Structure 1
Amino acid sequence: MRLHVGCAMWAHASWQGRLLPGPLPPRERLRAYATWCNAVEGNTTFYATPTRATVESWAAQTDPDFRFVVKLPKSITHEHRLTGADELLRSFLEAMEPLGARTHALWVQLPGSFGPSDLGVLAAFLHRLPRSYRYAVEVRHRAFFAEERSERLLERVLASRDAEWVPFDTTTFFAGPPTSDAERDAWAKKPRVPRRSRALTGHPIVRYLGRDATERTVEGWRSWVATVAGWLREGRSPTVFIHTPDNADALTLARRFHDEVRSRVPDLEPLPEPMPNEPQTLF
């Protein structure tokens, strides 16, 4: 039984010297992060496919049980809209190979314009993908949340490939007006869709966006604590990513979420002990 938790990134300026040792060279930051959390969103791959050497460095900095949920490049999902991108996909998969089993799922985040009429394209794309990976799909078109028929059609497409539907829960964030620059920036960028909490597979993935105020973030995730605890009791292995607009405390919040679930499921394996935020010395 295992719950993976993590953040949207493994390096954040405000973490260095406060939560993580700092300053750390780029090739040591993931290693330090992995003592706090046991998973991470691979958002950087959305913007460009990394070199194989870079991915080898990610593998070298993490234990075999650490997990990445790696986003497909936008050149595949947004520019080509899943068609005519076989060579781009091949290059991406070759670059990801060094992660091995650390790749929890390949994450297909689709643009808000990708709607029910595009489901045939999604189905064809998923069925061309290699069977050696799990897949998770995030949609943002409102029809998938507002129309039962569209929701069921999408679930059918995902079930045919044993792919998960990734909810991005922003309901707590949009429950009140923004109160900081970071919240105002996120207000204009984040999707507004209803909360969805139905798992399709044994490996559900949740993205949760809270507020910069810790108490509001924690209050907003209460239903997720109950849902995730229930999934664990059912034998599922969920992954939860905690976001806030500024992400300054996302590391501690991810661990707190894990602790709250573990209080309900005592057999849950604990997270590793965090690396001290100051380098150890001999004297």
Structure 2
Amino acid sequence: MRLHVGCAMWSHRAWPGHGLPPHERLRDYAARCTAVEGNTTFYATPARQTVANWAEQTDPDFRFVLKLPKTVTHERRLTDVDAPLRAFLDAIEPLGPRADTLWIQLPGSFGPADVATLGRFLRRLPTTHRYAVEVRHPAFFTDTATAAGLEAVLAAVAAEWIPFDTTAFFASPPTSDAERDAWTKKPRLPLRTTALTDRPIVRYLGRDATERTVEGWQRWVDLTVGWLREGRSPTMFVHTPDNADAPTLARRFHDEIRARVPELAPLPEPIPVEPLTLF
């Protein structure tokens, strides 16, 4: 039984590790959180040596949930993608078990008529990885038959459906520049809380105010406790509009779960970025 928690990135100017050399920031992050969203791989497939450096900075049980390149998911829409997919899989090979789940984020225009294409794509993927799909077409959330059809395609290959919960964020108007910016960019979709596999993954967007963020994730506390007691090992990614406090919030979420599931292993204690002094 394990709960992994993390953020949308491993480096941010507001975080303690930002003062470290770039090649040390992931190591510092991994001493605070146990998973990270691999959003950068959406824009470009990294060099294999770069990925090897990521592996060197993390323990084998650290989880990278890496997004497939946009060439595969958005530009070619899962069709005729053998070459870019092969290049991506080769590049991330040094991560070994750290590449826990590969994340297939699909555009909002990818709708019910495209589910068959998704099914063909999933069936051709190597079984060396787990896979999780994030959809943004409203029909998958509002039409029961459409949702059931997607679930069946995912279940056939033991793939997860990743919800991006923005309901707490959109519950009231924005109050800061960061919130106003996120208001125009983040998807506004109905809440989905069903896990399909033993490794559910949740993306949660809170608010700038900590109390609002914590209030909004209480449903996920209850669900995560239930998943753990069922023997599942979930991963929770905490976002806020500016992400300044995201690692602290991710750790707080883990603490709330551990208060109700005491047998859950604690998170690592962060290593101070600067050496301690007597004065």
TM-score bracket, shorter-length normalisation: over 0.9
State the Cα deviation string for residues 32-59 of structure 1 (Å, max 9, x = none).
0000000000000000000000000000
Question: 1:213 — aligned with what?
Answer: 209
Consecutive unaligned residues of structure 2, counting only runs of 5 or more, are: none
Matched residue of 1:122: which SS?
Answer: helix
Question: 2:97 — aligned with what?
Answer: 101
Identity %, equivalent residues = 71
Question: 2:258 — aligned with what?
Answer: 262
Question: 2:10 — aligned with what?
Answer: 10
Alignment of structure 1 residues 84-123 onto 2, 5 Å? 84-123=80-119
Alignment of structure 1 residues 176-187 onto 2, 5 Å? 176-187=172-183
Consecutive unaligned residues of structure 1, counting only runs of 5 or more, are: none
**Cα distance, 1:280 vs structure 2:** 5.2
State the Cα deviation string for residues 251-282 of structure 1 (Å, max 9, x = none).
10000000001111110010000121324579
Match of 1:236 among 232, 252, 262: 232
Match of 2:146 among 147, 150, 153: 150
Match of 2:51 among 48, 51, 55: 55
- Is residue 2:153 matched to residue 1:167? no
Q: How many residues align?
A: 279
Matched residue of 1:12: which SS?
Answer: coil
In structure 1, what is the Cα distance between the partners aligned to 2:207 and 2:67? 24
TM-score (norm 2): 0.98
Match of 2:223 among 221, 227, 251: 227
Question: 2:189 — aligned with what?
Answer: 193
Match of 1:38 among 34, 41, 46: 34
TM-score (norm 1): 0.97
The 4+ residue runs of structure 1 with deviation greater than 2 A are: 279-283
In structure 1, what is the Cα distance between the partners aligned to 2:276 and 2:64? 28
After TM superposition, the structure 1 stretch with the greater mean CA deviation from structure 2, 273-282 or 38-47, is: 273-282
Matched residue of 1:194: which SS?
Answer: coil
In structure 1, what is the Cα distance between the partners aligned to 2:276 and 2:61? 25
Q: What's the Cα RMSD here?
A: 1.2
In structure 1, what is the Cα distance between the partners aligned to 2:29 and 2:225? 24
In structure 1, what is the Cα distance between the partners aligned to 2:274 and 2:174? 34
